[in-house]
Amino acid sequence: MLGVIGGSGLYELEGIKVLEELEISTPFGKPSAPLLVGEVEGKKVVFLARHGREHSYPPHLVPYRANLWALREVGVTRVFAVSAVGGINPLLKPGDFVLVDNFLDFTKGREVTFYEGRLSKEVEGSDEVARLLREGKVVHIDVTDPYCPQMRETVACILEEKGFRFHDRGVYACTEGPRFETRAEIKALSLLGADVVGMTGVPEVVLARELTMCYCSLCVVANPAAGISQNRLTSDEVINLMKEKEEQIKGIILELIKRLEDRSCSCADVLKGAEV
Ligand code: HPA
């Protein structure tokens, strides 16, 4: 099943019939919002508001592990995550979509893994993930290419057909937030090869991958990053842009639900040989 994680400005999926609202608690705490289970043309989809329905979790305090674990509990195997970002690459304009294909991690104080060796949480289940946690294994997953190529390709086709301005790859730099970046930080990130900057993409993608899920990030350029334009950055600017893009994003999600075929990628195999 597809799970959709909505970021700033995307707190529900209007237009998709909600069948159930699930309050789930996990060994990693409570997710940031109830899970909304919906259906589109007979296919189920689950929606989760990353920052909570009232946007009450700042990026560095989002319960990423609880969010991903809750999605796993309801049977999600693929995650489509929508995030607002600042544009660093001068080719990017506000409103552009970017299907990022790699990341740089500058976060500091987040829980970055499910696999904590002897300190791993007690979990239920009989699959490989549950076994590794129960046996207290140390696990190093490969993240050379962290985003699912099959999902990225499908979404790229949808964006192309809809005629939206988009970039089919890009490097996402994740900062700790909740402040925006300094001019010098953006200059440094640019020199390091970052195209966009956000505060939530990591560890979300890593945690999804640790659970053998496919993960695809649709980044929406909400503003030029600090120092790229002369304006002061505001949350208003970000939220307003995301509201403007809401209809387009919903259209993309609807199309993705209809179009996703069986998994032909290797995301499900990420735990092979990963335990020590
Ligand atoms: N920086 C970090 N995160 C963001 C930005 C930004 O400029 N815009 C939207 N999310």
Take atom 2 of ligand 1 and give the residue whose Cα is closest.
198
The two structure tokens encoding residue 156? 């790229």
Q: What residues contact residue 168 under an 8 Å CB cut-off, 6+ apart?
A: 99, 152, 156
The two structure tokens encoding residue 119? 């300190």
The pLDDT of residue 229: 84
pLDDT at 161 over 90: yes
The pLDDT of residue 137: 97
Burial of 264 (0-12, 13-18, 19+ CB in 10 A): exposed
Query: Which region among 9-13, 43-47, 81-85, 159-163 has the lowest average model confidence (pLDDT)?
Result: 9-13
The pLDDT of residue 165: 97
Pairing of strands 171-175, 102-106: parallel
Atom number, ligand 1, closest to the C-alpha of residue 59: 3
pLDDT at 154 over 80: yes
**From the CA of 239, how far away is ligand 1's center (Å)?**
11
Q: Which of 51, 55, 182, 223 for a ligand 1 pocket mutation test, highest count of atoms within 8 Å of Cβ? A: 223
Provide the H-helix boundaries in the chain.
Answer: 64-73, 128-134, 149-162, 183-191, 201-210, 235-259
Judge if pTM exceeds 0.95.
yes
Take atom 10 of ligand 1 and give the residue whose Cα is closest.
85
**From the CA of 96, how far away is ligand 1's center (Å)?**
14
The pLDDT of residue 17: 82
pLDDT at 10 over 80: no
Peptide bond into 59 cis (omega under 30): no
The pLDDT of residue 40: 86
Percent of residues, the chain, with pLDDT higher than 90: 89
**From the CA of 15, how far away is ligand 1's center (Å)?**
28
Locate tokens 């991903």: which residue?
Answer: 68
Ligand 1: residues with CB < 6 A are: 84-86, 175, 180-181, 197-199, 222-223, 225, 233, 238
The pLDDT of residue 6: 93
Atom number, ligand 1, closest to the C-alpha of residue 225: 7
Atom number, ligand 1, closest to the C-alpha of residue 181: 1
* CA distance readout (Å), 257 to 3, 32, 149, 155: 10, 23, 16, 10
Please write the tens of the pLDDT for every residue from 188-242.
999 999 999 999 999 999 999 999 999 999 999 999 999 998 889 999 989 999 9
- Which residue, 80, 48, 33, is CA-closest to 208? 80
Question: What's the average model confidence in pLDDT over 155-176?
Answer: 98
Neighbour count for residue 127 (Cβ, 10 Å): 11
Percent of residues, the chain, with pLDDT higher than 70: 99
The topology under which CATH files domain 2-262 is Rossmann fold (3.40.50)
* Structure-model confidence comparison of residues 9 and 191, the more confident one: 191
Q: Which residues are bridge partners to 192 per DSSP?
A: none
d(CA 87, CA 193): 12
The two structure tokens encoding residue 118? 């002897």
**From the CA of 84, how far away is ligand 1's center (Å)?**
7
Say how far residue 63 (Cα) sits from the centre of its chain: 13
pLDDT category of residue 7 using cuts at 50, 70 and 90: confident
Please write the tens of the pLDDT for every residue from 55-108.
899 999 999 999 999 999 999 999 999 999 999 999 999 999 999 999 999 999
Please write the tens of the pLDDT for every residue from 110-145.
999 999 999 999 999 899 999 999 999 999 999 999
Q: What residues contact residue 225 under an 8 Å CB cut-off, 6+ apart?
A: 86, 87, 88, 181, 186, 189, 196, 197
**From the CA of 199, how far away is ligand 1's center (Å)?**
7
Atom number, ligand 1, closest to the C-alpha of residue 238: 9
pLDDT category of residue 13 using cuts at 50, 70 and 90: confident
